[in-house]
Homo-oligomer: A and B are copies of this chain.
Amino acid sequence: MSGANAVKEDRLWQRHADMAKLGGTPKGGVNRQALSPEDAAARNQLARWAKMRGFAVFTDAIGNLFVRKDGTDAAAAPVMSGSHMDSQPTGGRFDGMYGVLAAFEALEALEDAGVTTRRPVMAVAWTNEEGSRFQPGAMGSAVFAGAYRLDEMLEQKDWKGVVLRDALADTLKAAPAPLREGAPGFAVDSYIEAHIEQGPRLENERKTIGVVTAIQGSRRYIVTIDGEEAHAGTTPRAARKDAYAAATRLAAALYEATADAHDMLRFTIGRVEVSPGSPNTVPGKVTFTIDMRHPDDAVLVEREAMIERLLVEKTKPCSASLQKVTNVPPTNFDPAVIDLVRAKASGLGLSNMDMPSGAGHDAMHIARLCPAGMIFVPCERGISHNEIENATPSDLAAGTRVLVEVLEALANR
């Protein structure tokens, strides 16, 4: 029996149901924020399942939780798969958790099928991917990859003032696991992460597997427009410096200029503040955010220049400024890993399509360490970061079967 054939759809679905009880909400979602008691409960659950199968379990100084199925070559670097178990405050059952449980199911399936590999195969649950309690997100994978400093992360505080160092200590006390000494990070041969798509493309295109080629780059900006408050009843338009009229001209031009034939560029104005916000006063000041993403950094560079041009053209007689808040370059996954995912999906007879990831994932940090890739499965209507987030047992299992075959191939190379 192949490892892929040993994937048990019911077992995988049941594990999702069991995990969904930890921080479960009345609306069927989860509230399992990073380093909370619910997070500790999920860690304990995963560790219990691992021990029942005889897999080794350990953690590191940022709380990443590892499960290892040994290979035949004790000196070989492992292949790794996983994601995160923390959630948004009103999160779903599948975001992150699917990647952890698919990796664990892969270990079990390989074991059940009696498959041995040269390299160890590891499952990982990265600490604090969501970044909703402690900023920044994707913290555990970033520290593991050396992108963020451990000592700085340990000093982060949540909105109640709780220091991450203390929350982590409490979590590891409630969910003890052997601690790997030293700074986080060790040699990894390759990394593959399964995840729900969090967008509607697979569902719309009737595909089961997304072969993730890249994580798109993202840039975030704050636009500020300064005009002049005036009486709405008495001030003629010619005498106004109406900051919201200027903001509307600019936003309309931006929406138009960011439409593209392939609908690849993501452009969002998500937060808008109009001051003083009185119905009978002409607005004197407007600020709004721009979130812009594309797999090709050159496109972002070009569009940023366009924003700067329109900012001047469209906001007269007001004045406007642009502040760049974040600039995360795109992640391009390893071509060999991408090819392997596509080949294994097709080999299993699963419909698939290449696609970039719209959202950020832990894989973007690990891709700086070693060859990496991702596998997407559909989620209902593309809805995520929402308690109604949903996916089907068969799609989750299909993605896991691809994962098993990819891990097996990587672990024997």
A118 within 8 A of B: no
**Contact yes or no, B232 A291, CB < 8 A:** yes
A104 within 8 A of B: no
A277 within 8 A of B: yes
CA distance A156 to B216 in the complex (A): 57
A183 within 8 A of B: no
- For residue A280, which residues in chain B have a CB less than 8 angstroms away from its CB? 220, 268, 270, 291
CA distance A268 to B278 in the complex (A): 10
**Contact yes or no, A220 B279, CB < 8 A:** yes
A281 within 8 A of B: yes
A191 within 8 A of B: no
**Contact yes or no, B291 A199, CB < 8 A:** no
User: Which of A348-387 touch B at CB < 8 Å?
Assistant: 357-360, 382-386
**Contact yes or no, A358 B199, CB < 8 A:** no
A169 within 8 A of B: no
CA distance A368 to B282 in the complex (A): 30
**Contact yes or no, A200 B270, CB < 8 A:** no
Instruction: State how many angstroms separate the Cβ of A20 from the closest Cβ of chain B.
Output: 21
Q: In the complex this chain forms, how many copies of it are found?
A: 2
CA distance A229 to B271 in the complex (A): 13
- For residue A231, which residues in chain B have a CB less than 8 angstroms away from its CB? 198-199, 358-359, 382, 384-385
- For residue A199, which residues in chain B have a CB less than 8 angstroms away from its CB? 231, 233-236, 239
- For residue A281, which residues in chain B have a CB less than 8 angstroms away from its CB? 268, 270, 385
A259 within 8 A of B: yes
- For residue A200, which residues in chain B have a CB less than 8 angstroms away from its CB? 234-236, 239
**Contact yes or no, A283 B270, CB < 8 A:** yes
Q: Closest residue to A286 on the B side, CB-wise? A: B272
Interface string of A318-339 (1 = CB under 8 A from B): 0000000000000000000000
Q: Closest residue to A232 on the B side, CB-wise? A: B268
Q: Which of A34-42, A120-128, A143-151, A249-257 contacts B (4 or more CB under 8 A)?
A: A249-257
CA distance A291 to B233 in the complex (A): 8
Instruction: State how many angstroms separate the Cβ of A49 from the closest Cβ of chain B.
Output: 30
A344 within 8 A of B: no
Interface string of A199-227 (1 = CB under 8 A from B): 11100100000000000101010000000
**Contact yes or no, B272 A244, CB < 8 A:** yes
**Contact yes or no, A382 B278, CB < 8 A:** no
A230 within 8 A of B: yes
Known: A198-B233, A233-B357. 14 other contacts (CB 8 A): A199-B233, A199-B234, A199-B236, A200-B234, A216-B233, A232-B268, A233-B293, A237-B259, A237-B267, A238-B263, A242-B268, A248-B251, A248-B269, A270-B280
11 residue pairs bridging A and B, Cβ less than 8 Å apart? A200-B235, A200-B236, A200-B239, A218-B233, A231-B384, A237-B266, A244-B269, A252-B252, A269-B283, A270-B278, A272-B272
